[in-house]
Amino acid sequence: MGYRVAVGADIAGVEYKDLIKSDLAADERIDEVIDCGVAAGEDVDYPHVGVKVAKLVADGSVDRAVLVCGTGMGMAISANKVPGVRACTAHDSFSVERLVLSNDAQVLCLGQRVIGPFLARRLAKEFFGYDFDPSSSSAPKVAAISSYEAELGGTPDDAPASC
Ligand SMILES: O=C[C@H](O)[C@H](O)COP(=O)(O)O
């Protein structure tokens, strides 16, 4: 069975999102591509798209997602607010590899104002070439992220922070 994928962008990333959507739709490793917007010319701020897409990942509606904004950073910050989601900007092949193999990230974020379209498309393709190994030495580290997420519960901690 292939990947189910969601894509999303704000107005600063819609061109790359549409290119990547077409690439993924033609990729035999991928069964389904859901487009969460925006459509060309539509202006929705990135947090709304990023969280909508991340919720699809969190509830298991899709396996992975690709988000595009101007830098990729706002999308990543927004998507990571959804418990269970691991999202990050990655603009080189090694980072994309480690995003999956080290961090078990389900969401790749890209910046249309930072990298060119051919690199963006290549990185999106590469993202689906890796599978996280739950028996690897990276697994306990990812589990620690999940433990902190559960412990912190998404609400501000009243206790003073210290190192
Ligand atoms: O991270 C944010 C994105 O780059 C977004 O597309 C642009 O945000 P801005 O208009 O606040 O710079």
Each residue's pLDDT tens digit, 122-143 = 999 999 999 999 999 999 999 9
CB 91 within 8 A of CB 45: no
Ligand 1 midpoint to CA 71 (Å): 7
Tokens (6 digits) for 102: 């080290």
Residue 109 annotated in active site: no
pTM confidence score: 0.96
Q: Ligand 1 within 6 A of 69 CB?
A: yes
Mean pLDDT score across all residues of the chain:
96
Ligand 1 midpoint to CA 4 (Å): 27
Return the half-sphere exposure (C-beta side, CA atoms, 13 A cut-off) of residue 22: 8
d(CA 157, CA 46): 26
pLDDT of 158 reads: 75
Tokens (6 digits) for 103: 């961090």
163 band by pLDDT with thresholds 50, 70 and 90: confident
pLDDT tens, 39-88? Answer: 999 999 999 999 999 999 999 999 999 999 999 999 999 999 999 999 99
Q: What would the mean pLDDT of 103-125 be, rounded to a whole number? A: 99
CB 128 within 8 A of CB 23: no
Closest C-alpha residue for ligand 1 atom 8: 70
- If you compute the radius of gyration of the chain from its CA atoms, what whole number of angstroms results? 16
Helix (H) or strand (E) holding 35: strand 30-35
